[in-house]
Amino acid sequence: MADTQTDTRIATVSPVKEVDAEASLQRIFEHLAQEGYRPKLDDDGSINFKCEGWNIYLDSYDSNGGFRAYCCALWNVDPSERNEAISIANSINAAQRCLKVLVNEKNIVWVTHETFCTDVTEYTRILNSVPEYLVSACREFREEFRRMTKPVTLN
């Protein structure tokens, strides 16, 4: 019987670099203030600021997986119009990158911009365009929703 040599090395995985979410959000808060926004910290630790009259919220994922900015496109979708809202959300999701439109269980429509970027410096490079994307998607959703649920009658 031939001696067989077995590999006894154990595969090691590098630990994920811990990111201090509070420090990251503080740096983002300062960046937004420098850019002319008037950010506020909410009770739950998220950042709130306005862009073109729309409230935008920003927070980090607890799992150190990046940042999320979000905005409410519509507060109360009538339950009878929920399917239309989901259909419009799906069409926007298919056409847009990095944006997600969803209709939650309370029939509230949210638009989110999500990223896996954990480096604050890198994230602030794209952050200046995020509010514009969110507001644009919210407007697009509302226009399509009105068009689909409130047809215009021509004489």
Question: What average pLDDT values come out for the chain (155 residues) when binned by 10 residues?
Answer: 54 46 83 92 90 92 79 91 94 91 95 85 87 94 88 67
59 within 8 A of 67, measured Cβ to Cβ:
yes
Q: In Å, what is the CA distance from 136 to each residue of 21, 96, 148?
A: 28, 11, 18
Instruction: Of 33, 67, 104, 30, give the one whose Cα is nearest residue 57.
Output: 67
The reported pTM is: 0.77
Per the listing, tokens 């970027």 go with 117
Cβ density class 71-95: b for 16+ within 10 Å, e for less: bebbeebeeebeebbeebbeebeee
Per the listing, tokens 């073109």 go with 52
Query: What's the order of all strands across the beta sheet hosting 67-74?
Result: 40-41, 47-51, 54-60, 67-74, 109-115, 99-103
Determine the topology of domain 21-149 in CATH.
Answer: Yope Regulator; Chain: A, (3.30.1460)
Q: At what angle do helices 82-95 and 130-149 cross, to 10 degrees?
A: 140
User: Quick one: pLDDT at residue 86?
Assistant: 95
